[in-house]
Amino acid sequence: MLAVRVALSNPDKSDARERHLDDHKRHLRSGSIKIIQSGPILDAAGMSSGGVVVAEVGSLDDMIRFSSEDPFVCHEIYSTVSIFEWRPTIGSHS
């Protein structure tokens, strides 16, 4: 199954974001789930205001667990995190 995580940044945590960025990137590259695409959400000024992860997972619980272990989640750098099952209808995974 494909799952999508959409996370929006907490603007009050920009200093913490910088401190935990390398750990966050390591977590994304850990291989604990198969990430298809991942990257920042950009605001009008081109600054990161969150992130999206699309991954192949065995269940939604796998994505929830992966997300709960992300340093950006653990340190509340994201103000909101939403996780969904995704069924693409156009593209290479449809």
Q: Read off the pLDDT of residues 52-94 as tens digits, 9 standing for 90 and up.
A: 999 999 999 999 999 999 999 999 999 999 999 999 999 877 6
Residue 62 and residue 34: Cα distance in Å, rounded? 10
Assess if residue 29 is contained within a domain: yes
This prediction has a pTM of 0.91
Q: Could you give the number of structural domains in the chain? A: 1
CATH number at residue 66: 3.30.70.1060
38 confidence band (pLDDT: 50, 70, 90): very high
Assess if residue 15 is contained within a domain: yes
Q: Which residue's structure tokens are 């009050």? A: 12
Element of type H or E holding 49: strand 48-56
Assess if residue 46 is contained within a domain: yes
Q: Which domain holds residue 49?
A: 2-86
Assess if residue 93 is contained within a domain: no
Q: In this structure, is the dihedral angle defined by the CA atoms of residues 5, 1, 23 and 68, taken in order, positive or negative?
A: positive
